[in-house]
Amino acid sequence: MTRIYPHFIVAKFGGTSVADFDAMSRSASLVLADKNVRLVVLSASAGVTNLLVELASGLESRLRLDKIETLRSLQYNILSRLKQPEAIGQEIDRLLDNIHRLAEMAAVARSAALCDELVSHGEMISSLLFVEVLREQEVEAQWFDARKVIRTDDTFGCAAPAISAIAAMAENHLRPRIEQTLVVTQGFIGSDAAGRTTTLGRGGSDYTASLLAEALQASRVDIWTDVAGIYTTDPRIVPQAKRIDNLSFAEASEMATFGAKVLHPATLLPAMRKDIPVFVGASSNPSAGGTRVCRDVATPSRYRALAVRRQQTLLTLSSVNAQPAHRFLADTFAMLSRHEMAFDLVTTSETSIALILNATSATSGEADTLTTALLTELSSHCHVEVETGLALVSLIGNALSEGAAVCKEVFAELENHPVRMICHGASRHALCFLLPAQFADSAVKALHRSLLE
Ligand code: ADP
Ligand code: ASP
Ligand code: MG
């Protein structure tokens, strides 16, 4: 079959790019500037997901009504600027009523499934409003429910996508639509096999965009946000941070994994699998350019960027009886695996294992991996120590595990920083260390000054 749009682009707009009517109008103009943009993936308007997460935590009635009112006025501010608000007014009211009802249910008994159902309303509302903004600019656009194609498992709050099911469903339900008109859908949300709403973790709209690009073999993913690209570190921490014009998938993927919030940690995985370039730019200032992420970068330098991940927990497990190291490691990891505990960095010694748990990604914001059942079982097998209030700082670059001077150049700058744990050598692209959270910004500033400015 010949495809009408063989080189189509998936464009994703984050919360600030759909925060109000003016931002939505600017984003709509960007969509219209390139006829290859056929699929638009949207986040909820800025602030909405946070409000919904609070409602899902089960608020008492006064606070609940306050939050719902804040949310209603945020969305009505956009609705009232439409020329014909009545076209979708009823539907928006129905969704706001739903939010009310679900928030009442959460106050009685909260759950991760209920939280996902509730927060999905943010993306539902922003996508309905955006379609109307486009229609008022005389553009034919169809609204599409992403849950029809983003099939996930039932890990509410941080669901894993089912890649081949998504490919098949996108081909059947989405491809025919994008051949007809521009399609607008929601990021972040999906559904499990039973049809229940799930979410891909905070910031998950980036991931939706790259998953759909993979499923439909798009030629590019454009991530429109509030920064003109990916910088050497978060410009909120270091104002001197500079935009990196070209990044490899490996570099950008490490940055995202280790906390560069500009991209959801998993965004680059589908792009890498199908070799789809990703562009990151500012929707409020498209002429400023942005960052292009693709397979390779010509002669990249050793030091590229710094990232921070906050709210880290360190779990240290020490052997209490004199069993051989290999048995202690094998038994402990088997136990962690039975409890499906997610961790990503590990160091070990002869008699102990230290693991970093990351509590930042799940939609409900709860680190539910360290369950009482797991702690009880671990305690019967070894000595357990849990430390919280830590941050992980990561230096991203190339051949980091090979340079003779890397450790000296990094740690000489951190003389006054109580580094708690170091992970170096497993990845050629990242050197990570853990330290008390209050030292993270000063470590990033010091390293940025000496290695990246
Ligand atoms: P969106 O709502 O558009 O998805 P996010 O707030 O999720 O936007 O991501 C954009 C933010 O990411 C920026 O405002 C910036 O503070 C932060 N950020 C963190 N690290 C970086 C980095 N290395 N480069 C650019 N922005 C970064
Ligand atoms: N609205 C969701 C969040 O705030 C998803 C996203 O913005 O990407 O986390
Ligand atoms: Mg984001």
Q: Is the dihedral of CA 271, 277, 278, 283 positive or negative?
A: negative
Closest CA to 261 of 285, 289, 230, 239: 230
User: Residue 309: what pLDDT?
Assistant: 95
Ligand 1 atom at minimal distance to the Cα of residue 205: 4
Distance CA 120, CA 128 (A): 13
205 Cα to the center of ligand 2, angstroms: 6
Rg (CA), the chain: 23
CATH no. of 9-226: 3.40.1160.10
Q: Would the annotation count 420 as a binding residue?
A: no
Collapsing DSSP to helix, strand or coil, 390 comes out as strand
Which residues lie with the beta carbon below 6 Å from any ligand 1 atom? 14-17, 43, 203, 225-227, 230-231, 233-234, 236, 260-262, 305
At residue 316, what is the residue type? T
Burial class (CB in 10 A: 0-12, 13-18, 19+), 86: exposed
Closest CA to 182 of 10, 6, 18, 15: 10
Tokens of 145: 């429910």
User: Residue 342: what pLDDT?
Assistant: 80
The residues spanned by each domain of the chain are: 9-226, 304-452
178 Cα to the center of ligand 2, angstroms: 24
Q: Is the dihedral of CA 61, 67, 70, 73 positive or negative?
A: negative
User: Residue 392: what pLDDT?
Assistant: 97
Record the pTM: 0.95
Which residues lie with the beta carbon below 6 Å from any ligand 2 atom? 14-15, 43-44, 49, 122, 187-188, 202-205
Pocket test for ligand 1, best of 43, 208, 227, 308 (most atoms within 8 A of CB): 227
105 Cα to the center of ligand 2, angstroms: 23
User: Residue 1: what pLDDT?
Assistant: 58
91, 136 contact by CB (below 8 A): no
The residues that bridge with 312 in the sheet, in sequence order, are 358, 390
Task: Tokens 């730019």: give the residue.
Answer: 281
In sequence order, the 6+-apart residues with CB closer than 8 A to the CB of 132 are: 82, 84, 87, 88
Fold agreement (9-226, 304-452): no
CATH no. of 304-452: 3.30.2130.10
User: Residue 280: what pLDDT?
Assistant: 98
Tokens of 124: 């539902």
Tokens of 165: 């099911």
Pocket test for ligand 2, best of 49, 189, 200 (most atoms within 8 A of CB): 49
Distance CA 165, CA 163 (A): 6
Q: Would the annotation count 145 as a binding residue?
A: no
State which residues of the chain have pLDDT below 70.
1-4, 360, 365-369
User: Residue 339: what pLDDT?
Assistant: 86
Tokens of 410: 């990094």
The DSSP symbol for 43 reads P
Distance CA 266, CA 247 (A): 16
List, as ranges, residues with CB under 5 A of the ion ligand 3.
Answer: 14, 203
Closest CA to 260 of 206, 215, 314: 206
In sequence order, the 6+-apart residues with CB closer than 8 A to the CB of 202 are: 49, 264, 360, 361, 362, 363, 365
